[in-house]
Structure 1
Amino acid sequence: MEYILYISRFLYRIRWWLLLGTIAVTVMVYMVTGNLSKSYNVNATIYTGVISGYSLEENSGKIDWATSQNAIDNLINIIQAESTLQRVSMRLYARTLIYGNPNEDNEYITAAHYRDIYNHLKNSPKGAQVLALIDKTSEERTVANLFRYMRPNRDNYIYGLFYFNHPYYSYNALSKIKVARKGASDLLEVNYTSSDPGISYNTISILMEEFVNEYRTIRYGETDKVIDYFKGELDRIGKDLRGEEDALTDYNIEKRIINYYDETKEVAAINKEYELREQEALAAFNSTKVMLTELEKQMDQNTKQLLTNMEFVSKLKEASTLTGKISEMETVSNNATNGPSTQSYKDRLKQAQKELTSLSNQYVANKFTKEGVSRGNIIDQWLEQTLQHQKAESDLRVILESRRELNEKYAFFAPVGSTIKRKERSISFIEENYLSLLKSYNDALMRKKNLEMTSATIKVLNRPAFPISAEPTGRKKIVMTAFAGTFLFILGFFLILELIDHTLRDSVRAFRLTKLPILGAFPAPSFLKRRQLNKICEEIATKQLSNSILRQFKQKPEGRPYMVDFISTERGDGKSLLIEQLTAYWSSIGLKVRKLKWGEDFDTNSRQYLLAQSVSDIYTFKDEDILLIEYPSLKENSIPEPLVNEADLNLLVARVNRGWKETDNILVDKLKRQIAPQQLYLYLTQAPRYVVQDYTGMLPPYTFIRQQLYRLSQLAFTEKTIYNFARKNKKGDDQE
């Protein structure tokens, strides 16, 4: 409860600062904000379709929220990009200068703002050059002229128009355009506020057009570059592929290759067949050769002469030649036996064999050899073996010739095969690369088509509308903010002051600073018209002080009165006033009171005082009941310890309107050590009414309103009260 009362009293004490200070600042802010410029807000809504729009690209049917949010952020950043706002600035400036009217407001700009803009341009150092750029017949040509004129130079008017702090055309002004996504939808809301309705309207209108164009330029520019790259690569690789294929074709023609793999298989098959026939021919050749040698051993002299007969040799050669021909023809073609030429050779061979047989019979003298072998059989066998030997030799020669040709083919096909495989690998690699690029090219085309569809879905859903009425100026909010801010500032300032201030002020702070129990408080003089009330309040406080002092008296010492010491740390704390009030009051009720004052009744610089062991050393007791002793301030003089210990009550007097300093703490600590174990009490003077009432109760006047305020100040909200208006003219009346 103590702290609640303390806070309420704190607020009551600074009430006029809070009320008058807050009202003064609020009124001043109200007067200053009377001429606030009007503002006009324009908004538009854009449908993007990046989330719920149809897409040609493959997807799983699920929405990637991270990608969607990234797409929305990209759109917002494009709207707020410096390049976009620069285009908006130049178009807005061109439109303003083309369609503005210095004498009449229109949908582009008000007349007053147009005059300011035009005069600023006209009076600039190079205003004539800029005015020459304005083509009244074409906004596009004017914008192109402005961009051509713009240079990154401080003295360039158009460059400075965007990068300085112009209220309508600068980047700082246009960057205040607010873009926000509406919930989790595909919609973007764009807002802009300026002091000119035409500027606000045209800024948003131009921004909508520039945003769509900028978005298409960025997205199409990326895709078109990719498409051009893939198309160029496809043309290049396609040309390389055709060149490699043509080179392979030319190589096949050059090497007379129709089907390399089939031809090599055929050569391998022929080679295998020739190996078998070579073995057969070689075996036949060797066997016939052995047989001929054996048969020639069994021939007699007469038979051997046959071998040297010219006619016989001629026929034998003819038969050998025919046999070789037939063997060669049968080797070259398996179907030769069915041909007419082969059959004619065979017929001729038979005829030659008959003739050889006839010649051999003419040379046979004896029919049988000495071993008993028929000579005719030997000749026949020899002829047969000779023909077979000739045939085997011819077959072997033909086969060996064919093997040589096959070896040449192997030597021909070996490098051709590796070259063809290398060319085919190169063609295959180029073809795979071509197909990969073709797929990427098709994907890029699909991406472009998808972007075309996406760009088609970006449209202004709610177009900007020309603002007719101005937005609320916010004057009410500013005034309310000033009111609340001033109130809190004053409250905070005094609260900080309250926390760090060491002024005694009231009993709570006095106890916290001095750590001394408080005996009471004496009211400060009031300037009320009814001065009689001041006297009544002082009498009530004096009575309360009297009662508090009398309660401290235990037993009257023998041969001396009760003694009360009035002590202070500084001059002017009100000791004399309290002594006079108590002397007058106690004298009025029949008590014998005597007061001793330093400088009048005793000398604080005398040896008698400084070495006194009792009050009787500086004063001779009489028949007093109470002796009130006023000592000098502790800062100026010390008090002998026996004197303060002899007193029945030591009362430290201090004004509430002075600060409690560190020296006061030091002096009080020394005094407390002097009078120990007695208690040192604090009494406050010059106290406000609410401090005095903590000890005396309610002070007059006892009006109804004051009684209610007092009841509330004591937090007695449900107290049952009895109003006695007659008591306001009585002193010290306690009736209820």
Structure 2
Amino acid sequence: MSPTDILRLLLKNWKLLLAVPLALGGSLFYFTRHEAKSYASETTIYTGIASGYSLTGNSESDYFRTSNAFDNLLSLIKSRETKEQAACYLLASHLQLKELDATQLSWASLSRMRALLPAALRRQLTGPTLAATQRNVTAYASANDTNELYRLLNSHDPVYSVEALGKVNATRINSSDLIKLELETEDAAICRATLALTTQVFLAEYRSLRMSQTAAVIRYYEVESEKALKRLNDAEEKFLVFNRDNNIINYYEQTKYIAGEREYLYSDINKIEMQYAGALASLAAVDKKLAGRGASLLSSAELLRQRKHLESLNTEIANQQLFARQQETDAAPRTQQLQVQAAETVLAIRTTLNDHYAQLNSVEGIPSKGLLDEWVKNMLEATENKAKLEVMGRRKGEFMAEYHKMAPLGAMLKRIEREIDLTQKTYFALFTSLNDSKASQQNNELTTNLKIVAPPFLPSQDKGGKRLMLVAGGAFGGFFFVAATLLGMGLLDKSLRMPAVAQAQTGLPVLGLLPAHPTHPFKKTKKPAQASKLRDHSYEHAAAEHLARQVLRRVSAVPARPFVAGVLSPLRQEGKTTVVQSLAHSCNAGGLPTLALYPEGTDAGPANDYTRYYSPAQATLHRWNLAELTQPRAADVQLVLIEFPALLEATYPVTLFPELSLVLLTLKASRSWKPTDQQAVADLRAATAAPVEIVLCGVARYDSTDLIIPIEKSKTA
């Protein structure tokens, strides 16, 4: 459909387009005349989530973390638990009232609350204080799912139900740290009280939720830290007992010292063994030189006793020197004393040798005194080294015993130290986490302390109802619905509603049209002048004149007389009689003598010289031609109009078709073009060579402008 067709369709149904919106708007205006007043209030809360200050300084700007925090906060406000608790607190505050308080609720709301709950139940729930009443209401509502309060909370009550508390709208103000809570109710005092209680409940729940998270973590770390500390103390006590039982002061220094002394001892032993071996060899050489002559002297009892005493003194001196170095003690006085005694013993030995000297020369001629001195020297060196070797041998055994003792202690000490280190690290990690959790708890105490920037106010004026908006919306919706329905029907309409559509669907030219309610020209009126004036300026008259002009143009183009026009239709009641009547009247009025032939049974007025009736059955049976059908005929008739029966419903005289000069196919504008119609037209064309043109009947004024120009417009032009 083109925009012109759409406009034409809407103008055609302007009454419907106007009536439906007016009816809907009027109905809504009437049914909303008792609309309740509405009061709105709001409160603003500062959260500090996005840019607040904490123990660690200013909060970092993290879009996703901030958005998640605000989502959690808004979800908590809209949660069922918050709404239920706020509804219970609101009911408790109203039950606590002994008399009407306009700042809490209106008289109508108080009466309504008393009607909702029996007096006995109200007395049962009311406590000595508001807190006690709140506890009673909460406990009674959660006791079971069949009592009055549970049903009230889960009903559609506009004040005390969860549904009513769900009307609290919570939103974040742009990208700030502020949250706005809004509510709209029928009672101004209840509106403010509901917002205040909702804020109170969700702030407490938010703080409890945040604090409970860190409290559980802190309890865990405290218990684990105590266990770790006990394990650390047990490991350190084990370490202390181990060191005490094994005489360990510093294991690593002790083992280092023992290893060093061992190496030093081994070095001294090797050195002294070499000296001792040399002294023994020298002493053996001297004994050989002395041969048997000095044997008696060297083996005397006195000299043996002195040698034995010297050996014991040298052993003691070696012990004192070795222990003094290992034990790091000051043994110099004792060592000096022993050395003095040893020197005295050596002097005594020399004296003994001098006293018992018997021979002066050796076998080789070496003086015996010189050999004795050399013997004494080697004897002293051998005795001294022997004593040192004996002492060092004992110390070597002691070092080996100590070495074998300390070696396995290292592995055990390492295990104990590793246990202490692991336990200590575990304890430090738990203690650090405990401190972090306590800091987080303290930070939560600071950050969960939300501030009410703007408390809810008591609205003094109502917002104004939605009555006008509902009326306007209903009227607009009705108009839109009707217009959409009309357009939909127009798009789905397959009827021959206008000349252009009829020509496109049938493939036949449209000669003319008649209106939906044509004026019958042959009917007389009481006021002929006035009726004629109305017809001259009407759409019906313009359509009839247009059709007559088209036929007259065809008549004037054919010189033979009379001009025969057949009026046919595929079905009955498609306007054939009206077309013949209109053409006959217009042509006779225009000076063209016209004969109209109607099938018997047609109500076309009385028969006369220009109006006659015939029998289609007889004409078909006897194969009448035109002359037989019109006999007798007025001599001056120049146009013959023959109405035929319906092509698809009755028998019609086919013998008349060859004599037709024009075929007028009348079609109702409200019908659709079907294949049977197309076949009937094909049969018609096969029976006559006359052109077939359409006369569209029942066309609305708005659908005829592409073919008919009203007379008043043409005159103006």
Corresponding residue number in structure 2 for 1:714:
none
How far is 1:27 from its partner? 0.8
Letter in 1 for 2:464: P
The reply on whether 1:212 has 2:203 as its aligned counterpart is yes
The reply on whether 1:481 has 2:473 as its aligned counterpart is yes
Equivalent residue of 1:167, what SS? coil
After superposing the two structures, state which structure 1 stretch, 305-314 or 490-499, moved more: 305-314
Corresponding residue number in structure 2 for 1:381:
374
Letter in 1 for 2:564: M
Equivalent residue of 1:150, what SS? helix
Distance change in 2, residues 1:128/1:587 (3 Å): closer
How far is 1:261 from its partner? 2.6
After superposing the two structures, state which structure 1 stretch, 506-515 or 90-99, moved more: 506-515
Letter in 1 for 2:14: R
Corresponding residue number in structure 1 for 2:564:
563
Q: How does 1:304-343 map to 2 (within 5 A)?
A: 304-334=295-325, 339-343=332-336
How far is 1:675 from its partner? 6.7
After superposing the two structures, state which structure 1 stretch, 226-235 or 138-147, moved more: 226-235
Distance change in 2, residues 1:621/1:443 (3 Å): farther
Letter in 1 for 2:33: G
The reply on whether 1:276 has 2:267 as its aligned counterpart is yes
How far is 1:152 from its partner? 5.8
Letter in 2 for 1:684: L
Corresponding residue number in structure 2 for 1:121:
117
Distance change in 2, residues 1:172/1:517 (3 Å): same
Corresponding residue number in structure 2 for 1:33:
32
> Could you give the per-residue CA deviations for residues 21-70 of structure 1, whole angstroms, max 9, x where no partner exists?
221221111000101122221211111122222222256x7522222222
TM-score, structure 2 as length reference: 0.87
* Count of matched residue pairs: 691
Q: How does 1:140-289 map to 2 (within 5 A)?
A: 140-151=131-142, 153-289=144-280
After superposing the two structures, state which structure 1 stretch, 301-310 or 82-91, moved more: 301-310
> Could you give the per-residue CA deviations for residues 228-256 of structure 1, whole angstroms, max 9, x where no partner exists?
33333333323332333333233323322
User: Take 1:692 and 1:423, find their aligned partners in 2: how far apart are those partners?
Assistant: 113
> Could you give the per-residue CA deviations for residues 709-731 of structure 1, whole angstroms, max 9, x where no partner exists?
xx9xxxxxxxxx95xxxxxxxxx
Distance change in 2, residues 1:109/1:654 (3 Å): same
Give 2:80's match in structure 1, choosing from 59, 71, 82.
Answer: 82
Distance change in 2, residues 1:588/1:357 (3 Å): closer
Distance change in 2, residues 1:473/1:563 (3 Å): same
Equivalent residue of 2:96, what SS? helix
Corresponding residue number in structure 2 for 1:731:
none
The reply on whether 1:434 has 2:427 as its aligned counterpart is yes
The reply on whether 1:576 has 2:577 as its aligned counterpart is yes
Q: How does 1:639-718 map to 2 (within 5 A)?
A: 644=657, 647-656=660-669, 658-660=670-672, 662=674, 665-668=677-680, 670-671=682-683, 674=686, 679-691=691-703, 695-699=707-711
The answer (yes or no) to whether the contact 1:567–1:632 under 8 Å persists in 2 is yes
Distance change in 2, residues 1:215/1:535 (3 Å): closer
Corresponding residue number in structure 1 for 2:14:
15
User: Take 1:295 and 1:329, find their aligned partners in 2: how far apart are those partners?
Assistant: 31
TM-score, structure 1 as length reference: 0.85
The answer (yes or no) to whether the contact 2:620–2:654 under 8 Å persists in 1 is no
Question: Over the residues paired in the alignment, what is the CA RMSD in angstroms?
Answer: 3.3
How far is 1:589 from its partner? 4.4
Corresponding residue number in structure 2 for 1:72:
70
Q: How does 1:711-730 map to 2 (within 5 A)?
A: none
Give 1:63's match in structure 2, choosing from 45, 48, 61.
Answer: 61
> Could you give the per-residue CA deviations for residues 406-429 of structure 1, whole angstroms, max 9, x where no partner exists?
222222322333333333322222
> Could you give the per-residue CA deviations for residues 320-375 of structure 1, whole angstroms, max 9, x where no partner exists?
22222222222222599973332332232223223333444566654333333333
User: Take 2:433 and 2:690, find their aligned partners in 1: how far apart are those partners?
Assistant: 104
The reply on whether 1:93 has 2:91 as its aligned counterpart is yes
Give 1:416's match in structure 2, choosing from 409, 412, 422.
Answer: 409
Equivalent residue of 1:36, what SS? coil
Equivalent residue of 1:471, what SS? coil
Unmatched 5+ stretches in structure 2: 601-612
> Could you give the per-residue CA deviations for residues 57-105 of structure 1, whole angstroms, max 9, x where no partner exists?
256x75222222222222222222222222211110111111164xx56
The answer (yes or no) to whether the contact 1:302–1:365 under 8 Å persists in 2 is no
User: Take 1:617 and 1:315, find their aligned partners in 2: how far apart are those partners?
Assistant: 198
User: Take 1:411 and 1:151, find their aligned partners in 2: how far apart are those partners?
Assistant: 78
Letter in 2 for 1:548: Q
The answer (yes or no) to whether the contact 1:57–1:446 under 8 Å persists in 2 is no
User: Take 2:411 and 2:622, find their aligned partners in 1: how far apart are those partners?
Assistant: 137
User: Take 2:589 and 2:208, find their aligned partners in 1: how far apart are those partners?
Assistant: 106
The answer (yes or no) to whether the contact 1:44–1:204 under 8 Å persists in 2 is yes
The answer (yes or no) to whether the contact 2:153–2:160 under 8 Å persists in 1 is yes
The answer (yes or no) to whether the contact 1:598–1:604 under 8 Å persists in 2 is no
User: Take 1:431 and 1:555, find their aligned partners in 2: how far apart are those partners?
Assistant: 126
User: Take 1:319 and 1:303, find their aligned partners in 2: how far apart are those partners?
Assistant: 20
Corresponding residue number in structure 1 for 2:594:
593
The answer (yes or no) to whether the contact 1:511–1:518 under 8 Å persists in 2 is yes
Give 1:522's match in structure 2, choosing from 514, 523, 526.
Answer: 514
Distance change in 2, residues 1:280/1:15 (3 Å): same
After superposing the two structures, state which structure 1 stretch, 394-403 or 146-155, moved more: 146-155
The reply on whether 1:303 has 2:294 as its aligned counterpart is yes
Unmatched 5+ stretches in structure 1: 712-720, 723-735
Letter in 2 for 1:163: N
The reply on whether 1:496 has 2:488 as its aligned counterpart is yes
After superposing the two structures, state which structure 1 stretch, 640-649 or 249-258, moved more: 640-649
How far is 1:191 from its partner? 0.7
Equivalent residue of 1:333, what SS? helix
Equivalent residue of 2:61, what SS? coil
Corresponding residue number in structure 1 for 2:639:
626
How far is 1:307 from its partner? 4.0
Equivalent residue of 2:125, what SS? coil
After superposing the two structures, state which structure 1 stretch, 390-399 or 688-697, moved more: 688-697
> Could you give the per-residue CA deviations for residues 458-512 of structure 1, whole angstroms, max 9, x where no partner exists?
2111111122222211101000000100111111122222222344443344345
Corresponding residue number in structure 2 for 1:350:
343
Equivalent residue of 2:294, what SS? helix
User: Take 2:224 and 2:351, find their aligned partners in 1: how far apart are those partners?
Assistant: 87
The answer (yes or no) to whether the contact 1:336–1:342 under 8 Å persists in 2 is no
How far is 1:399 from its partner? 1.1
User: Take 1:248 and 1:37, find their aligned partners in 2: how far apart are those partners?
Assistant: 85
> Could you give the per-residue CA deviations for residues 594-623 of structure 1, whole angstroms, max 9, x where no partner exists?
44444544534766577x8x7679778987
Letter in 2 for 1:659: R
The answer (yes or no) to whether the contact 1:41–1:471 under 8 Å persists in 2 is yes
Letter in 2 for 1:113: S
User: Take 2:317 and 2:329, find their aligned partners in 1: how far apart are those partners?
Assistant: 9
Equivalent residue of 2:41, what SS? strand
Distance change in 2, residues 1:520/1:336 (3 Å): closer
Equivalent residue of 2:697, what SS? strand
The reply on whether 1:133 has 2:125 as its aligned counterpart is yes
Distance change in 2, residues 1:156/1:295 (3 Å): farther
User: Take 1:105 and 1:146, find their aligned partners in 2: how far apart are those partners?
Assistant: 20
- Percent identical among aligned pairs is 25
The reply on whether 1:407 has 2:396 as its aligned counterpart is no
User: Take 1:189 and 1:676, find their aligned partners in 2: how far apart are those partners?
Assistant: 87
User: Take 1:279 and 1:641, find their aligned partners in 2: how far apart are those partners?
Assistant: 159
Distance change in 2, residues 1:108/1:651 (3 Å): same
Give 1:510's match in structure 2, choosing from 502, 510, 516.
Answer: 502
